[in-house]
Structure 1
Amino acid sequence: MASAATEQQAKPNGGFAALWRFLPMLWPAGQLELKARVVVAVVLVLAGKAATLMMPFAYKAVIDGMSGERATFLIVAGLVAGYATARFAGVLADNLRNAVFEKVGQDAARRLAGTVFRHIHDLSLRFHLERRTGSLTKVVERGTKSIDMMLYFLLFNIAPTLIELT
């Protein structure tokens, strides 16, 4: 009884309670490879943010380089190449992040589907006879497909936005 009360106190209440349930899927116990993938994905998010942050400075340098009296073709071309490199690095970091994180999302969907499958099989026969299992199957399929998207937005959209706001 005391452990149930302690567990209840450890979970936050309110709007973030649903998001809190997804955290073990982002950091699965005993899955070192998936944890490493999450860390690499977060590093790639930071690299993408840094590259995006560098783009205005590179653009400023290009404009300043063109307006100066000593604007040679090589200087301007180098500055334009620097701007293009920063832009490319941001896009590359985002795409690499998606590729690295994909296995984490797929594993979470697989584990969630297995948990739901076991739960459905543990239900009584009367439940299955009285319910329309076709609609239940559709709900389960939607849930397993959406878990990957939910984890993606939690880690790469919601968390960075909250960090930027603080």
Structure 2
Amino acid sequence: MKNLFPLLVLLSFSCFAQNNVQTDTIYYGKELNVDSLKKLINSEDDPLEIQDELIEEEQIVELGGAADPEFPGGERALFDFIQNNLVYPDTSINMGHQGIVYIQFIVERDGAITNVNTLMGVDEFIDKAAEDVISKMPNWIPSCDNKECYRVRFTLPITFRLG
């Protein structure tokens, strides 16, 4: 029987923390990221409603100006949480699939985790498992300075490896 270990790889965790929106184009004077652009192209929604969503997205600030958000207990606790809660899907095991899933999420002003999505995945089952474990995370310690707290976007690689 194969020895199976989902393995979290934190490749210098802080260098994957990001909050700048990857710019693809400009719409109504606002920068669009890939997801917003897809939504605009494939949607029958009113463009003004999409613009309002983009304005909200622009409120995500850059790291470094305030204390970075932190998983309660630090990076080791984050690693342990993911190791203990990640479920390697049986379907993916049977198909021999393994690889790295890049999950992006936002740490909100109150520390809540929102907007969890896969940037680059392996297969639909592994991608869903990675999204699920991130969605289960407890609230983080938010990014705050002496005036206010900020929304911060993170990208986290999670490695699934058959042992």
TM-score, normalisation: structure 1? 0.28
TM-score, normalisation: structure 2? 0.28
Structure with bigger strand share is 2
Whose relative contact order is higher, 1 or 2, with alpha carbons under 8 Å and at least 6 apart?
Answer: 2
Structure with bigger helix share is 1
Structure 1 or 2, whichever has the larger Rg, is 1
